Every structure is written in C-alpha cells, then in structure tokens.
C-alpha cells in the first residue's frame, strides 16, 4: 500500500514539475520585461508546494 502511494506521489511530482516548467515558460514569454519580477513571484508558491508534498510523503511513509 505504501509503495503504491509513493508511486502516485512520484508521478504527481513529475506532473507538477512539467506544469511548473510550462508555467514558467508562459510567464517568461508573457512578460520578458519583468523577468526578475515573475521569477520572484513564482518561487514562493513552488516552495510551498514542495513543503506540502514533503509533508504528504512523510505522513504516508
């Protein structure tokens, strides 16, 4: 059961990474002028997501 959860989480993390990359690409294309600005805005949300995923991983372990 735990292995199944880990597999689901790993696939979820892969999807999140793809989504994040697409989002970053879209944002960089949308505002090339505010490149530093967009980068600082997207990073906190991603770190929060990482913390949530870590919490989930430890709770299912």
Specify the pLDDT at position 31.
61
Its pTM surpasses 0.85: no
Question: Closest Cα partner for 42 from 57, 58, 27?
Answer: 27
Alpha carbons 39 and 37: distance in angstroms, whole number: 5
Specify the pLDDT at position 23.
76
Q: Hey, how many other C-beta atoms are within 10 angstroms of the C-beta on 32?
A: 9
Q: What does each of the 61 residues of the chain score in pLDDT, given as a tens digit?
A: 567 887 888 888 888 888 887 777 776 666 655 555 545 555 666 677 777 877 877 777 6
C-alpha neighbours within 13 Å on the C-beta side of residue 43: 6
Domain ranges of the chain: 2-60
């Amino acid at each position: 059961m735990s292995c199944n959860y880990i597999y689901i989480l790993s696939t979820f993390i892969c999807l999140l990474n793809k989504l994040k990359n697409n989002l970053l690409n879209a944002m960089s294309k949308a505002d090339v002028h505010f490149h530093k600005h967009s980068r600082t805005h997207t990073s906190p949300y991603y770190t929060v997501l990482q913390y949530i995923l870590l919490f989930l991983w430890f709770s299912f372990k």
